[in-house]
Amino acid sequence: MNQTAGFEMQLNEQFDNLMRLASRLCRNGACAEDLFQDTMVLALRFRDSYRDGTNMRAWLSRIMKNRHISILRRRSLETHIMESEGHHALKEWSVGEMGLRATAKDGGVQRDEGFCDTVRSAIDELKPEYRQVVMLCDIDELSYAEAADKLTCPLGTIMSRLHRGRRALRDVLVSRERLDQAA
């Protein structure tokens, strides 16, 4: 029996245990089925990281628990965003009337990035080297390598500038949110 067939046989033996664990974690049939399926996909995708002789049940349980934690964190963040949308500047930052403008004040057409004035001015406040990389990677959706080629600088420089630019952008937007809440 080849190694792949052995892995899949061990995986099949754990279906019932994993479904019980998923049901216990989710307490919802549809959620449990989704979690079970996600776990199977992850197990198959990362089967190279499984070592023969390792406890398959423990390995799969850890994958499932980590996936469940990730799902809960994402839901928490989504809930926080949805609840707070009506209470602070997030609503202003989303695409709305201000972000849908397609013509410049001089009558010419300007590129519409879908940002309101708050985000646009926060981007404009970034240091030029950070602004360039944020625009290329986050707005124009270039890869790190493409941005490095375009700016003729090392890949590591792009990555660090993007990190610092995003952090500076977040800090500016959060400080404006706090000002709005204080007003």
Q: How far apart are CA 50 and CA 46, in angstroms?
A: 7
**Lowest-pLDDT choice from 31-35, 42-46, 89-93:** 89-93
Residue 65 clears pLDDT 80, i.e. is over it: yes
Domains along the chain with CATH numbers: 3-84 (1.10.1740.10), 90-182 (1.10.10.10)
Host H or E run for residue 68: helix 56-84
Residue 88 clears pLDDT 50, i.e. is over it: no
Residue of 120, 111, 136 lying closest to 169 (CA atoms): 120
Would the pTM count as exceeding 0.85?
A: no
Tokens of 34: 């989704």
pLDDT digits (tens, 9 = 90+) for 21-32: 999 998 888 889
Place of tokens 């052995």: 6
**What's the mean per-residue pLDDT of the chain?**
78
Residue 93 clears pLDDT 50, i.e. is over it: no
C-alpha Rg value of the chain to the nearest Å: 23
- Which pLDDT score, from 0 to 100, does residue 95 have? 42
Whether 165 contacts 140, CB under 8 Å: no
CB atoms within 10 A of CB 169: 19
Tokens of 56: 């398959």
The CA distances from residue 14 to 35, 40, 144, 177, in Å, are 14, 10, 40, 49
Q: Which residues contact 136 (CB under 8 A, 6 or more apart)?
A: 142, 146, 147, 150, 151
